[in-house]
Amino acid sequence: MKKIILIAVVLVFIFLTFMIIEAKATKKQNIYNKNSETRAVYFSYIEFNSYIKGKNSQESKNNIKIILDNIKNMNLNTVIVHVRPFADSIYKSEYYPISDTILNNNNEVPDYDILDFFITEAHSRDLKIEAWINPFRISNDTKLENISVDSIYYKFINTNDVMIIDDKGIYLNPASVEVRNLIIDGIKEIVEKYDVDGIHFDDYFYPNKTIDLQSYDEYIKTGGTMSLDEYRLNNISVLIKDIYSSIKNIKSDVKFGIAPEGNIENNYDKSFLDVNKILSNNGYVDYIMPQLYFGFENEIKPFIETINVWNSLIEVDSIDLIPALAFYKIGTVDTYALSGKNEWIENSDIIKKQVVISRNVSNYDGFSLFRYDYIFNKDKSNENIEKEIMGLKDVL
């Protein structure tokens, strides 16, 4: 009798184990749906300089409508709008000065809310809109006068919270608690005031390896035990986790995602973004959008191998993979691809193939294209781009 019971227990255990494995496998199966996949395009501060800056209100409004019509007509469904490229803001903020990328033809703030108009017009076309933020960058040059006296962080000048980096610009210190709180407050402001569908970070985290040395010395003197690299990785992880919870506490349906470098090693060695941690734990991101700006023939980071590595890092079922693809490379030499440097010149169906291949990856939820002008601005077009667009339309 005992033997029968033991056999029964073993069989039940095997059955339950199989069911757990099967359930886990089912969760990870690709559930690609062409009607729900994210099809995003980046709209950067460079585009703001072209289509909004120096225009009167009617001209800039008309340009925004055309921009969104173009995106809609391409069968894309999401626009990632650069609302904070340089510790500034395209809307009136309590924390950040107005960005000069939106100043009108009189070099004044427009008489309408550009972000609100963008959102309203996007949603009227059934397009989603995400607010794209560079958290630490103040300026691409080193002139202190670029820090607005109207900004809440003007007080950071000549303190450990701001660093001038030769040949790079001016940056806020990622190790500063006060800086991190400022970033979080600015994001909460957007989510509270505007009907955005998401908050988006790209790959600008640690700007160099000296900006936080004074902060680290103070940390060690007060009993800290982490190594310098651990300290830096932790600073960014804490910020990301706090942002995620702040967003969800206000509007649970607003997504938070990050577009890190496609080269995973660089995230650790340069930016100090712990991608393994944020992709294997709840409470950090809703999606990851690695910048997979590599061709199939890239000698260092071939596309298929690289997207599979990123996919394997995701251990949380709710985190989606949305690869960012390099429309800007079409028709150009990709020097860093080494033996594959001419791939973007010799082929005109790379993006189409990358979308099709990505759709077979288990955590796939869409793709994004960098950036708007390389798709819709005829001045940047070339024969390969035109062919790529036609090919992409075939799979949309």
Residue pointed to by tokens 């030499």: 333
Q: Which residues are registered as beta bridge partners of 129?
A: 79
| Sheet with 162-165, side-by-side order of all strands | 137-139, 169-172, 162-165
Q: How far apart are CA 146 and CA 183, in angstroms?
A: 19
In a domain, 12, yes or no: no
In a domain, 103, yes or no: yes
Q: Give the C-alpha distances (Å, rounded to integers) separating 120 from 35, 113, 126, 254.
A: 22, 11, 10, 16
In a domain, 29, yes or no: no
Count of structural domains within the chain: 1
Give the per-residue pLDDT at 34.
67
In a domain, 11, yes or no: no
| Residues 138/86, Cβ–Cβ less than 8 Å | yes
Q: DSSP E strands: which ranges in 113-189?
A: 128-133, 137-139, 162-165, 169-172
pLDDT in tens, the chain (396 residues): 444 444 443 343 334 333 433 333 334 566 667 678 999 999 999 999 999 999 999 999 999 999 999 999 999 999 999 999 999 999 999 999 999 999 999 999 999 999 999 999 999 999 999 999 999 999 999 998 878 888 899 999 999 999 999 999 999 999 999 999 999 999 999 999 999 999 999 999 999 999 999 999 999 999 999 999 999 999 999 999 999 999 999 999 999 999 999 999 999 999 999 999 999 999 999 999 999 999 999 999 999 999 999 999 999 999 999 999 999 999 999 999 999 999 999 999 999 999 999 999 999 999 999 999 999 999 999 999 999 999 999 999
Give the per-residue pLDDT at 30.
63
Give the per-residue pLDDT at 29.
62
| Residues 41/368, Cβ–Cβ less than 8 Å | yes
Q: Which domain holds residue 120?
A: 39-394
* Whether the predicted model's global pTM rises above the 0.85 cut: yes
In a domain, 332, yes or no: yes
In a domain, 18, yes or no: no
Q: DSSP E strands: which ranges in 65-133?
A: 78-84, 128-133
CATH of the domain at 387: 3.20.20.80
Give the per-residue pLDDT at 28.
54
In a domain, 134, yes or no: yes
Amino acid at 155: K
DSSP 307: H
In a domain, 174, yes or no: yes
